[in-house]
């Protein structure tokens, strides 16, 4: 027998599955892969899929542009990883209406001063900057969670677990 409630539930699940968005991680070069893998691991814990791509805004700007436009159609969140002169984050942000999170890898070479290329952007260009891979993943999940309740629930669970850990740590230390 046909059950209208079951059909509605099925349609809602189908619509929510369509809303499952991936995070597109664009690296300036393959040497950024270890940093990207940390972001992917954090996204995996939050149940968010990701795609890894390599495209330098300096060396292959047309390829970079094409990648951005390819994924932009699906309203993705972009995380960019580029050190030294981070043109990738600003370039990506300037080409899309989608959120862009810059997560540049730390480098000792310049005493950390290369971070300025991620922080100082021209007017009309505004990528968010999150320095830790786990934080970049969490920020992306929070953005996606605005339209996807399942992701939002995972973010809440993650935050609750972090709070519980601190409360337990405090109780353990205060007993000493």
Kindly tell me the sign of the dihedral angle through the C-alpha atoms of 105, 111, 112, 114: negative
Q: How many domains does the chain fold into?
A: 1
Please report whether residue 14 resides in a domain: no
Please report whether residue 41 resides in a domain: yes
Least confident of 11-15, 32-36, 41-45: 11-15
The predicted-structure confidence for 159-173, as pLDDT tens digits, reads as follows: 999 999 999 999 999
Please report whether residue 77 resides in a domain: yes
CATH number, domain containing residue 26: 3.40.50.1970
What is the per-residue pLDDT for 11? 52
Please report whether residue 149 resides in a domain: yes
Percent of the chain at pLDDT exceeding 90: 77
Please report whether residue 5 resides in a domain: no
Strand, coil or helix: what is 39? helix
Least confident of 10-24, 82-96, 120-134, 151-165: 10-24
Please report whether residue 70 resides in a domain: yes
For the segment 44-59, the average pLDDT, to the nearest whole number, is 96
Core vs surface per residue 5-23: b (16+ CB within 10 A) or e = eeeeeeeeeeeeeeeebbb
Query: Mean pLDDT across the chain, nearest whole number?
Result: 90
**Rounded to an integer, what is the distance from CA 123 to the centroid of its chain?**
23
The half-sphere exposure of 14 on its side-chain side, counting CA atoms within 13 A, is: 6
Kindly tell me the sign of the dihedral angle through the C-alpha atoms of 97, 139, 77, 9: negative
Total residue count of the chain as it appears in this document: 176
Which domain does 54 fall in, by range? Answer: 20-174
pLDDT at 143 over 50: yes
């Amino acid at each position: 027998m046909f059950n209208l409630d079951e059909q509605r539930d099925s349609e809602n699940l189908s619509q929510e599955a369509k809303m499952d968005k991936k995070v597109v991680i664009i690296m300036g070069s393959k040497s950024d892969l270890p940093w990207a893998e940390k972001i992917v691991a954090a996204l995996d814990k939050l149940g968010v899929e990701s795609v890894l791509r390599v495209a330098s805004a300096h060396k292959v700007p047309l390829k970079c542009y094409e990648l951005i436009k390819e994924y932009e159609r699906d309203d993705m969140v972009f995380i960019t990883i580029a050190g030294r002169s981070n043109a990738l984050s600003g370039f990506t942000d300037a080409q899309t209406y989608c959120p862009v999170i810059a997560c540049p890898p730390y480098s000792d070479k310049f005493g950390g001063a290369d971070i300025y290329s991620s922080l100082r952007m021209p007017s009309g260009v505004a990528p968010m900057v999150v320095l830790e891979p786990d934080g970049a993943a969490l920020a992306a999940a929070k953005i996606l969670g605005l339209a996807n309740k399942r992701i939002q629930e995972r973010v809440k669970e993650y935050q609750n677990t972090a709070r519980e850990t601190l409360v337990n740590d405090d109780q353990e230390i205060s007993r000493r």
